[in-house]
Amino acid sequence: MRSEWTKVRTVASTVWTLSVAAVVTVALGMLISYLSRRDFASMSAEEQLTFDPTFISFAGTSLGQLAMIVFGVLVVSNEYSTGMIRTSLAAVPQRGTFLFGKIAVAAGLSLAVGMVTSFAAFFLGQAVLGPYRAHIGDPGVLRAVFGGGLYMTLIAVFSMGVAAMLRGPLLSLGILMPFFFLISNILGNVSATKKVGRYLPDQAGNRILRVSPLLDPTPYGPWGGLGIMVLWVLAALAGGFLLLKRRDA
C-alpha cells in the first residue's frame, strides 16, 4: 500500500485529474446555482414547487465525474502502458493483494477528495442561491452531501475495475466516457428505455444527491440507488480480479 501511495502521488496525471474533478464540480455547481437564482422568479409554479436547491449545487457532478473516471482508469492502466505492471507483480505476486492495495489507496484518496468537493459544492452553491438556499440541517440535505462524496468515490472505483479488465487506458476511456456521458443519459431519458436506464450505475447512484421527493419517480430510494451502484462496482472489481488472476502481465 505504501508503494501504491507513492505511485499515485508522484504521477502528475492522477494529481491533475483529481484537481480538475474538484474544480469543475464546484465551479459548475456555482454557475448553475447562479443561473437558477436569476431565473427562479420566471419559473412555472410546478418548477418552483419541485425546485431542489441541494441538487442544483451538485450540477457540476455530471462533468466532475468524468475526471474521476479518468483518475480511476489511469491509476490502474498506467502500469500496463509503461510496462511497470511486470515489476509490480514480481514484487507482489499475490494478485488479489496487489489489486486490493491499489484499489484501497486510490479509493481512500478519491473519498477524501470527493467529500471535500461535495461539501464545498454544497456550501458555495447555497451561498450563491441566497434566499432559495437549503441548510445543512434540513431533512435529507446532510445525507445528500455525504452521498455526493460517496458517489464520486464509487465512480472512480468502478472505473478502476473496468480498467483492470481492459488494461489499456484508451480502450477503457473509449468505453467509459461515451457510456456515462452519452449512452446512460440517453437510456435514462428516453421513455422506451427509462425502466432499464434507471438501474445503470450513475443513474441509480446520483439519486443520493436528490432531496425533493417530488423529483423522484424511481422505485427505489436514495440509499437503494447507491446500493445498486455498489453492486455495479463490486461486479467490475470481481471481473478485474478474475482477469488479472488468469492473464499474463
Residue-number span of the structural domain to which 104 is assigned: 2-246
Number of domains in the chain: 1
Q: How far apart are CA 61 and CA 161, in angstroms?
A: 21
Question: With contact defined as beta carbons under 8 Å apart, do 28 and 63 qualify?
Answer: yes
pLDDT band at 35 (very low <50, low <70, confident <90, very high): very high
C-alpha separations of 122 from 8, 69, 78, 145 in Å: 27, 22, 33, 7
**pLDDT, tens digit, 9 for 90 and up, residues 217-245:** 778 889 999 999 999 999 999 999 999 88
**pLDDT, tens digit, 9 for 90 and up, residues 183-215:** 888 888 787 788 888 899 999 999 999 997 665
Q: Give pTM, 2 decimals.
A: 0.92
**pLDDT, tens digit, 9 for 90 and up, residues 42-83:** 888 878 888 899 999 999 998 999 999 999 999 988 888 878
Question: With contact defined as beta carbons under 8 Å apart, do 152 and 64 qualify?
Answer: yes
Question: With contact defined as beta carbons under 8 Å apart, do 170 and 78 qualify?
Answer: no
